[in-house]
């Protein structure tokens, strides 16, 4: 979902006359952390069904990724949109933390994703997700919002995901629209 928000923000930024040059001027404290955290999540996701120790520690590792991500966002809270992103990530972190390190997902909202996904979800073997049950705490913060056609991708998202995307949108719009203009003055120099 975050990637969808980034793509949408880029498209709107172009329509508003923005430029990617602003992205080149992005200055973030600990900027190397974000791509590292993405890689760590992909590695956990890819290996948790293959390596026993990663499977055993995956819930804790996902929470650790969120804690470091929250620290990164807080360090950059002066950037436009970052407090909003922080709030969205915090909402997702809270619901995962109180549910043992997994994001609860509404089985009803995820029905259109197919039987295989639902089976994996209920078995608790799908990435960092698990099905919402009677025991789930704060289920309203879980993935409960279905996205289906005419939306181009089918998925289920959380309130935290929506908030995060609003923040990412604000940040990208700021970067794209604050890029130095390529127009140069053609006025003759004063004498």
Q: Tell me: the pLDDT tens digits for 133-163?
A: 999 999 999 999 998 887 878 889 999 999 9
Span 1-17, pLDDT tens digits: 667 778 888 899 899 98
Confidence of residue 168 (pLDDT cuts 50, 70, 90): very high
- In this prediction the pTM is 0.83
In whole angstroms, what is the distance from residue 181 CA to residue 18 CA? Answer: 9
Confidence of residue 68 (pLDDT cuts 50, 70, 90): very high
β-partners of residue 162 are none
List pLDDT tens digits, range 24-67: 878 889 888 888 988 988 888 888 778 888 888 888 888 999 99
Q: How many CB atoms lie within 10 A of CB 171?
A: 21
Checking if the pLDDT of 101 tops 60, the result is yes
33: exposed, middle or buried (Cβ count in 10 Å: 0-12, 13-18, 19+): middle
- For the residues 94-116, what does the mean pLDDT come to? 89
Cα(54)–Cα(65) distance, rounded to whole angstroms? 14
Q: What residues have CB less than 8 Å from 137, skipping those under 6 apart?
A: 95, 98, 99
Taking the C-alpha atoms of residue 190 and residue 166, their distance in angstroms, rounded to an integer, is 46
pLDDT at 191 (0 to 100): 46
What residues does each domain of the chain span? 1-19+32-178
């Amino acid at each position: 979902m975050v990637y969808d928000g980034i793509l949408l923000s880029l498209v709107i930024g172009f329509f508003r006359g923005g430029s990617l040059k602003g992205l080149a001027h992005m200055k973030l404290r600990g900027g190397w952390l974000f791509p590292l955290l993405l890689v760590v999540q992909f590695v956990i996701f890819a290996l948790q069904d293959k390596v026993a120790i990663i499977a055993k520690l995956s819930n804790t590792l996902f929470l650790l990724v969120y804690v470091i991500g929250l620290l990164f966002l807080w360090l950059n809270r002066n950037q436009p949109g970052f407090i909003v992103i922080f709030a969205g990530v915090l909402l997702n972190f809270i619901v995962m933390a109180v549910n043992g390190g997994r994001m609860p997902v509404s089985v009803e909202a995820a029905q259109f994703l197919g039987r295989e996904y639902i089976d994996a979800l209920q078995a608790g073997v799908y990435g960092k997700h698990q099905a919402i049950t009677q025991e789930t705490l704060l289920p309203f913060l879980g993935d409960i919002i279905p996205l289906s056609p005419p939306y181009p991708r089918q998925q289920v998202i959380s309130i935290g995901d929506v908030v995060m995307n609003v923040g990412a949108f604000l940040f990208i719009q700021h970067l794209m629209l604050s890029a130095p203009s390529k127009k140069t003055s053609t006025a003759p120099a004063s004498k």
